[in-house]
Every structure is written in C-alpha cells, then in structure tokens.
Amino acid sequence: MRKAETTMRMYNTGALAIVRVETIERGLEITEGCLNGGIDVLEISYTLNNAGKVIEAIVSRFKKDICVGAGTVLDSETARHAILSGAQFIIAPNYDEGVAKMCNRYQIPYAPGCTSLTEAVNGLTMGASFIKAFPVSDFYGPKLCKVFKTPLPNMPILASGGITLANLHEWLENGVDVCGFGGLLTKGTKEEIAENAKAIREIISKYRNK
C-alpha cells in the first residue's frame, strides 16, 4: 500500500515545495516552515550533490510528519540512491523507463516530466503516479492541464513553473492535481515560508470544498 498511500498524501496536500539547498540546516528550516503552514510534501532536488544527505536528515528529524521525495532524477542509479536515502517519491524533468521500473520495484510514486501526450501515455503505461507537465507548463500555463486531460480525463497531473498565489486558482480550475512551488516555499524566514504555505493550502482547500 506504500505507493497508493504516498500518492494520496501528495494529492490531498495538493502542493509541494521544490527545495534546492546548500546546507542540511537550511533544508530542515524550510521543512519546518512548510509544516507550520500545512504543507507536508517536499521535493529535494538532485541538482545538488548533497540531496541524499538532506533527505536523510529531514526523514530523521520529522519522520512521518513529512513526505519527502527526490527531484531532478534523470536515471535509475540516482533513483535508487534517493530511495535508499529515504525518498518516498521520485520526480523528474524527463521520462525514463529505467527510473519507472526502479520506482515500481520499490513501490513508490514516479512523476516523469512529459512534453507531449505520447510521452504522458507512455509514462502512465509504465506505472507513473503523476505526469509532470514540464517544461511546457512554463509556456502554456494553466491551460496545458486541460489539453492533457481532454483525451485522458483521469490523467493525474503535477505541474511546476509559473504557479503563484495570484494564478493558483486558474491551475486548479484547469485540472492540476498537485502544484510545485519554488521560491514561495523555500525563500525567506521560517515564518514567511509558513505564511505562504498557509495561503496556498487555503486556496486549494477553498477550491476543492466549493
């Protein structure tokens, strides 16, 4: 049930922080701010070589209070390293069959980045829990979700890039399931991060409960 439970936790939260940090201490600080604002899902990007250590530290400190995964996972070797470090989900800017198989083997959600419907369908066929609309979401904006979901209404979509407090409602109205945030949830003090997290959660809850 691990994969299903994590997938539902990500959907129920509806948002995640995309974290790139130089130090473990800052990673812990960001995590605390997000949790204080009601967002319990974080993606630690493998663009930095300390990502595994940051994941380990967050899992050790916050345990089941946090759902932490790995981002920018381009290959199966990196996916396995992330999973062994404690990552509970894998997100990537691309689709890779090896990563899909590794995630299925360990039963954790995989969200590959897809720029076309063909890529998205291939990802779903290989067991992806979400399709990451990337990087085309930067160019097409919220309407991209509707484009993907017109032929496949049940496609679960995770989007990041260009999502703000001002336009979050547009993404939700167009069918996005999980939204990724960078600066809003990673910049500033713990208090500022918590404030932004709370605002994001309120918008998502208001939309889903209407």
- Specify the CATH number for the domain of residue 196: 3.20.20.70
Take residue 179 and report the two structure tokens written for it: 């939204």
Q: In sequence order, what are the residues at sequence separation of 6 or more whose Cβ sits closer than 8 angstroms to the Cβ of residue 191?
A: 33
- Please state the φ and ψ torsions of residue 89, each to the nearest 5 degrees: -155, 165
Cis bond upstream, residue 135 (ω within 30): yes
Rama region for 38: left / alpha / beta (φ>0; ψ in -120 to 50; rest): left
Cα three-residue angle 110-139-99, rounded to 5 degrees: 15
pLDDT score for 96: 95
CB of 33 closer than 8 Å to CB of 197: yes
Q: How far is the C-alpha of 55 from the C-alpha of 36, rounded, in Å? A: 19
Q: Rounded to two decimals, what is the model's pTM?
A: 0.95
Residue 26 backbone dihedrals phi, psi, to 5 degrees: -70, -35
Tens of pLDDT, residue by residue, the chain (210 residues): 799 999 999 999 999 999 999 999 999 999 999 999 999 999 999 999 999 999 999 999 999 999 999 999 999 999 999 999 999 999 999 999 999 999 999 999 999 998 888 999 999 999 999 999 877 666 677 888 888 899 999 999 999 888 999 999 999 999 999 999 999 999 999 999 999 999 999 999 999 998
b/e per residue, 78-99, with b = 16+ CB within 10 A? bbbbbbebbbbbbbbbbbbeeb
Domain count across the chain: 1
Containing structural domain, residue 96: 2-208
- For residue 160, the SS3 value is strand
Instruction: Report pLDDT for 145.
Output: 85
At residue 137, the pLDDT reads: 62
How many CA atoms are closer than 13 Å to the CA of 189, on its beta-carbon side? 3
